[in-house]
Each structure stands twice: as structure tokens, then as C-alpha cells.
Amino acid sequence: MSAHPLIETRALTKQYPGVLALNAVDFDLNAGEVHVLFGENGAGKSTLISMLAGANSPSRGAVVLEGREVKFDSVADAQAKGIYTVFQEFSLIPTLTVAQNIFLGWEPMKGPFIDHRTMRKRAHDMLLELGFDIDPTDITSHLSRAQQQMVEITKAFHGDLKVLILDEPTASLTDKEVDHLFEFVGALKAKGVGIVYISHRIQEFSRIADRVTVLRDGGKIGTVDISETSEDALVEMMTGRAIDEIYPKIKQGGGDVLLTVEGLRTAGIHDATFEVRAGEVLGVAGLVGSGKSRLFRTIMGLTARDRGTVKLRGKDISHAPTRAIIRDGIYYLSPDRKAEGLDLAKSSKDNLAINLVMGDKVGGQGQLVRWSEVNAEAETISDYVELHEGYRNKPVSQLSGGNQQKVLFGKCFGQNADLIIFDEPTVGVDMGTRAALYLLIKELAESGKAVVVISSDLPEVMNLSHRMIVLAHGHISAELSGDDMTEEQVLKFFFDETGAKR
Amino acid sequence: MTTEATKTGAFDPIRKIFIKVGVLPFFLVGALIIFTALSDKFLSLQNLVNVARQSVYLVLVSMGQMLVLISGGFDLSVGTSIALTSVVSALGMVWLAGIFPDAIWLAIALGAFMGFAAAISIGLINGIGVAYFEVSPFIMTLGASSVGAGLALFLTGGVPVSGMPFAFADTFGFGRLFGVPVPVIIAILCIIVMWLFMSRTRLGTQVYAVGGNIKAAHLSAINTKRTLMMAYVICALIASLTGLLLTARVESGEANLGSTIALESIAACVIAGVSLRGGIGRVENVVLGAFFIVLVQNGMNLAQVSSYMQMVLLGALLILAVIFDQMRYRMILSGN
């Protein structure tokens, strides 16, 4: 056995009409190894794993499992052969219990009936063994995203697991949950499972990876041992640019107070009081579930407001409907671009047009839409957010996560906003695109707009912000600026218990 | 289906047309070939003019249906709006003509407005239920359709309302202006207004946005509830107009008018490429889609297909169109 890698691909190629998604990639994974796939969106990572997972079949080349060439008919076929993939989009049924999800398609039977008791017991044991603190009788939709991910991983442990493919597993996890995941990955390694790990979070690699393979434009750039490389070198392999070019230096404007929030209270938020000034970037950090997103969704009128006042340029907007708040000059970019941000079946142009039609930037206030002006402005915005010409008329569902995020950013330029709230602006976005998005944030702030960046990615908030607020248990546990914005300080306030006692 | 499944170069233009406009061109060509073969009268100018005239009513209702479909719902109560308009306006005209025998046009106008009001209240109930109470459009419009149909039967006792002013039927049922039937002129005006509304106005754009992704629309400063409400009200209003024209045609107020039109209008829209998921659809295609349905019915009549079998075929056509819509949506999203 040891003569062969656990799984390898030989000159694996995927040709779509007009696009070479993967070009003759050789990849190999040994037993008990974590092999990271690294590359920008559209580099071919997803294509590669979709073929390892059985979701897609190669145009040319071969997949070799333990020395034998294999062809997977389906994802189920690959799973039967010991290859399990945890995709970014979960395969859980939200209305079923955790136990039912874990055993979906594998239900223990008692005669012709499902044996629910055994199922709950075994689910409980599996969760316990993996160290996940989840009740198997909970309804899946009641769980946090991180917990759902744990359930998704648990599902992999039915058969004889040889290869576990994790697609951006940490994108929605907090640092504590990431620690847990890594411990668990370590335990799997010890058992001889091979792990293919896809991530954009380069700072994670030194903690878990053995080797890294970098892909760019469908081709393999190289495979390196993690001990023989550095973050900077990897980023350069991926993008061809150096890492200090990623976070721009943003000049602080220090303008007038734009937004004043006083004693805002709602379910899960206690007495939030803070200000946002024109020309500054306010970072908002906190664990998942700390209420950092909820606080701003409440300000936007997306959840019910119990008490407190919100003023924009002195005007009370505490009880205004969302559309009035947007028209008054606050724009909110949803963290979930697919569910709340974009109309997936339409082109980027059509998506941008909605904001242009609703805003007062073009065409005046009349009821008739001047499409020539709207389209011209949509083009200008697309140029500004650097959306490639070829993508503009395609349905946004066909674009990569990074390009979809560019379209979402573009929407905030369609309406004349003075305060722009970015909620998790770079989830699932590659480094190259991130750098471009950060530049847009810089330009917004330096042109005198107020910018709020809500993010679970700590380096991101810390590097972009002039000032930060930290939330814990729905309570603003700290407001930091200047030299106080260190990682230890911020983490300390992540676990502040003041809010929990309420 | 086989043409779409094979990905060879020869079928590429077919795929492109299918993705762009949907299944309608293929159905249309198929129908023309089949019915021309079955009956030599089918492709005559006179017959086609006849089909165009008959299709007026379905064209109108389908445009209303399209609006609601694009907003992400559907309206099963269009037939009820027609019946209720017919009954209420006929009762109104008969009653008012008795009160103002010398001002017959006043009686007609007021009677028509009573019919509009009845239909608009159906639209309002649908809109309020769907937009504000988030009832599924299926249940909401199904319930409203039973309410309206029951009221129409209750008002008339199931007996047609006769004795309407002659001027009404003469003008709106059989009248001609410059040689063109009045219903055709009204339909053409409506098509122009709807086309302008959907493609040139902010409100029309909002309907597309709400149907495409209602949450994204909400975050783009669109009043999503008002938009949904408006879609149902306009749909009921157009159905009501159709109800008036049909009433003029049959010269009496009837509670069983429009009983099959909900299915026919949805079929016309889906065949014309309006997505059942909302957000996608074009006025000009829907007009063609409605024309196609009437053409098929006409062809089946000429080929002496029994009216019972016609129902079977129409239902099958709808299901087929929905299947193709599903395939098309997947193609749009995946880009293959």
C-alpha cells in the first residue's frame, strides 16, 4: 500500500465549452496527511475536488485510488469508496433533527421501520466521539452555521473513511471553533485519514497543513512542503503580488458625526451606544452569535426594534422602514450574497440597474426609467469595481464568489449612500479580489463616506479600521482605537461576560 | 427533450433560442405543422384573423397573470374576477338603466365601475394576504377564487343576468372602429401600456426585482409589500376588463364566465418563457403565448378533437411547458 499515495490524479483535465477549467493537474494525497489546495476563485480548486468527490467527471486524465484507477458514477459512489466531501453549501435538511440528518440514507432499521432510538443513540455517540457539543434531537435549522458544519462533518463517519475533503470549512467559524476543528483534523490524521483542505485563510496553513498545492487559472503552479515555504511565498505563487499589498493604508478623515446610536435594544442586543463619523472606517468584531451583525440589521430596520434611538445626521430614523433608511443614505451589504444580495438568474447589469432605478443618481425622479443612462452608469460602476467585461452579461450565478461580491459592492454605488455597512465583505473571496475590494473601501472612506466593516476575520477588521467596537453576548464590550487595537485586546473583549449576565 | 440533451454543435443554435426565449418557438412550429396537416382550413388568412380576434381575451388575462408570475406568485382567481365583474356590472347596468332610462351611457359607465370595484377587491384581498400575511399565493388565490365564485352565484342565483343595455354589447362586444373590432383595439392599447409599464417604468422594474430575489429587493430600497400588492390588483383589474368585454360578447352577466382561464393563462405565460420562480418574463412573448394557446384550441376544433380531449391536451401542454421551464432555468444558472 505504502508504495502508492492514498489518492492521486494524473493529468486531470476538465474542459467546458470555451473554458479549460482544469488543465492536466497532477495531485497526490498520502494517508495521514493534510494537503491544502490554495488558489484564487476560479483557479480550479472546486473543479478538482468536484471530480475527486464524484460530482463531476473528468474530460481527460485519471483519478487513482490506492493504486487503482477509479471512475465515480456519483457522489454516493465516491462515498462508498471512502471519499467524503464537506462542501461549502451544506447538504443538510433544515427541518430534520441532527440525528436524522446524520443518518439520512443510512437509517438503522428495525424490520421495515426506522429505529429512531438506536439512531439517536448512535448519533449521540458519534457526536461525543468527535467532541461536538450538539444534541442529536435538535432541529438542524436551529443550529448555528458552525454547528451545522459539525453535523455535516459527522455525516462522513459512517463507512470506512479514507479521504475527507473540506471545502473552506473555516469560512464561517470563529477562532475557538476553528481550534476545535483543527484538533479534530489532527485526530483524523493520526488515524491515517487523508485530508484535502481548501481554504483562503493562509494563516491557518502552518497550523495544520503538511503540503500545499497552488493552482492558478486551472493549472498547477506547484506543490510545496509547508516547512519549506512562507505565507508571502504562497501568496506570491497564487497571485504574483506581495502580501503587504493586500491591506491598504486608509487615511482617516475625522469628519462630522453621521450616525448616533443610543441605548438601542432588541432581542439579543442590550443598550448599544456608539457613533460613526464621516471619513472613518469603523470595525465591528465579535464571535459568531455575539450580535455584531444583528446590531446593524436592527439599525437598518431588518429586525424589530424595542428601544433606543438611532439618528442619521440628527434625523431620527429609529422607526423608519428599511427603504426610507436606504434613501436617507445608509446602505447595507448583506453577508449572504446569494440569499439576500443578488438576483442570481439575472446579469450583473440587471442587478446593478435595480439600485440605479431606485436611487436618484440617474434619470431624475420621474416614473419612467431612462435605460440608456442606467446602462451607461452600470457600465461605469462595473469598470470601477473591476468586473471583467466578459462577465457583465452572464447570470451572476455563473460568476465566482469573488466576482459576485464585486457586483454586490457595485450595488452600493448605485444609491447615493453616505454610510455603507459591509457585513462580512469577503466571505469566500480570494486574496486577489480581496485586495481589490479593500481598495474600494479605502476609496469610499477617503472620499468622506463613513464605512462600517463587520467581520469575523480578525486581521481584516484590524487592518482596515480606524476604530473598532467589539461585541460579546449582544453587548458592546469595548471600543478600541489606535494602539489599543491589538489582537490580545480584541480577543479579551470577545469573551467579556457583561452581556451574558443580563 | 433529446435536442436539448445532446450537446453537439448542430443543436447549438436551438439551445441558444431555447435559453433566450424558451419553448414557445418550438411549440409554435410544431403546432403549425401538425394542424396544417390535419386541416386545410387551418392556415387560411380568414382562420388566422379569427384566431387573433378570439385570442383577445386570453391575451389580456395572460398579461395580468404574467405580472403576478414575475412578482414570484400566481393568480388562480382570474376566472373569478371575470365572473364577478360580469355579474356585478350586468346587475348594475340593468338596475341603473331602470333608474336613468335617458342616460344609458351613464348607466353603462357606472355599472362597469361597479364591476371593476368588485374585481379590485378580489385583487386587494389576494395582495394583502400574500404581501402582508405571507400566505402562499396558491392558497390565497384559491381561497379568493372560491369566495368570488360563490358570491357571483349567490348574487344571480345561478341564472344569467339578462336585459343589459343594447349599446353596451353593440359597442364592446361587436363594435368596430375603423373596421377593427373594439376588443382588439382595447387589447392592443393594453399591450402597449403593459409593455411600457414593464420595460420603461420604475414600478415595472421593481416587479422584476421583487420576483428575482425579494430580500435583495428589500435591501435595495424597494417597497416589496406594495409592489406585490400592486401586481395582484393590476392582474385583477385586467381580468375585470376582460370580464366586461366577455359580458358584452355574450350580452348577459354570467357567473360561469372564465372558468378555464386561470389554467390557460398560466399555460400561456409559462410557454412564453415566464419563469414560475419569478423575475423573468416579457410582455411580447406572453402575447404570443396566449395566441398560441388559442391557435391550438382552434386547430383542435378544426381537427374535430372533442372538447374533453382538448382539456387533456391543454393540461399536458402546461405540464410539458413547466418541465421545459425547469430545464431552462437550470441552463440559465449553470450556463451550460
Q: Per the CB < 8 Å rule, is B221 touching A395?
A: no
Report d(CA A87, CA A79) in Å as an integer. Answer: 13
Report d(CA A475, CA A269) in Å as an integer. Answer: 6
Give me the pLDDT at residue B2, please.
39
* Best residue of B69, B219, B275, B276 to probe chain A, by most A CBs closer than 10 Å: B219
Give me the pLDDT at residue A242, please.
60
State the nearest Cα–Cα gap between A389 and chain B, in angstroms.
17
Residue A354 has its nearest CB partner, among B7, B217, B336, at: B217
Query: Quick check: A169 and A86 in contact, CB under 8 A?
Result: yes
Is B157's Cβ below 8 Å from some Cβ in A?
A: no
Q: Is the residue at B215 inside a domain?
A: yes
Which residues from chain B sit within 8 angstroms of residue A415, using beta carbons? Answer: 220-221
State the nearest Cα–Cα gap between A229 and chain B, in angstroms.
37
- Please identify every stretch of chain A with a pLDDT value under 70, giving residue numbers as ranges: 1-3, 17-19, 41-42, 89, 171-172, 239-245, 363-365, 499-502
Which residues from chain B sit within 8 angstroms of residue A332, using beta carbons? Answer: 219
Is A395's Cβ below 8 Å from some Cβ in B?
A: yes
C-alpha distances out from residue B220 to A238, A377, B198, Å? 35, 17, 18
Give me the pLDDT at residue B9, please.
60
* Best residue of A344, A352, A354, A397 to probe chain B, by most B CBs closer than 10 Å: A354
Is B53's Cβ below 8 Å from some Cβ in A?
A: no
Is B220's Cβ below 8 Å from some Cβ in A?
A: yes
* Best residue of B69, B213, B215, B329 to probe chain A, by most A CBs closer than 10 Å: B213
Q: Per the CB < 8 Å rule, is A353 touching B205?
A: yes
Q: Is the residue at B209 inside a domain?
A: yes
Give one DSSP letter per residue of B21-35, joined into a string.
H-SHHHHHHHHHHHH
Is B278's Cβ below 8 Å from some Cβ in A?
A: no
Q: Per the CB < 8 Å rule, is A395 touching B219?
A: no
Which residues from chain B sit within 8 angstroms of residue A334, using beta carbons? Answer: 215-216, 219
Q: Is the residue at B326 inside a domain?
A: no
User: Which structural domain, as residue segments, surrounds residue B184?
Assistant: 58-257
The three cell numbers of residue A487 are 489582537
Beta-bridge mates of residue A266: A269
How many domains, chain B?
Answer: 1
State the nearest Cα–Cα gap between A182 and chain B, in angstroms.
34
Report d(CA B268, CA B283) in Å as an integer. Answer: 11
State the nearest Cα–Cα gap between B150 and chain A, in angstroms.
38
C-alpha distances out from residue A177 to A147, A193, A268, A285, B48, Å? 9, 21, 21, 16, 69
B 192-211 → A contacts, CB under 8 A: 200-206, 208-209
3-class SS at A155? helix
C-alpha distances out from residue A297 to A325, A449, B220, B302, B310, Å? 12, 19, 14, 61, 53
Give me the pLDDT at residue A501, please.
61
Query: Quick check: A346 and B212 in contact, CB under 8 A?
Result: yes
Nearest CA in chain A to B221: A323
Is A398's Cβ below 8 Å from some Cβ in B?
A: yes
A3 by Cβ neighbours in 10 Å (0-12 / 13-18 / 19+) ranks as: exposed
Is A358's Cβ below 8 Å from some Cβ in B?
A: yes
Query: Quick check: A293 and A488 in contact, CB under 8 A?
Result: no
From first to last of the 336 residues of chain B, give the pLDDT tens digit.
Answer: 334 444 456 677 888 888 877 889 899 999 999 999 998 888 898 998 899 899 999 999 999 999 999 999 999 999 999 999 999 999 999 999 999 888 899 999 999 999 999 999 999 999 999 999 999 999 999 999 999 999 999 999 989 999 898 899 998 988 888 888 999 999 999 999 999 999 989 899 999 999 999 999 999 989 999 999 999 999 999 999 999 999 999 999 999 999 899 999 999 999 998 988 899 999 999 999 999 999 999 999 999 999 899 989 989 988 998 898 888 888 877 765
Report d(CA A149, CA B120) in Å as an integer. Answer: 49
Q: Is the residue at B5 inside a domain?
A: no
The DSSP symbol for A195 reads: E
Give me the pLDDT at residue A75, please.
84
In this complex, how many residue pairs, one in chain A and one in chain B, have their CB atoms less than 8 Å apart?
A: 96
Nearest CA in chain B to A301: B219
| Residue-wise pLDDT tens digits, A330-350 | 999 999 898 899 998 899 999
Residue ranges and CATH numbers for the domains of chain A are: 7-242 (3.40.50.300), 246-329+417-502 (3.40.50.300), 338-415 (no CATH)
Which pTM was predicted? 0.77
Give me the pLDDT at residue B300, please.
93
Residue B279 has its nearest CB partner, among A321, A339, A345, at: A345
3-class SS at B242? helix
Q: Is the residue at B67 inside a domain?
A: yes
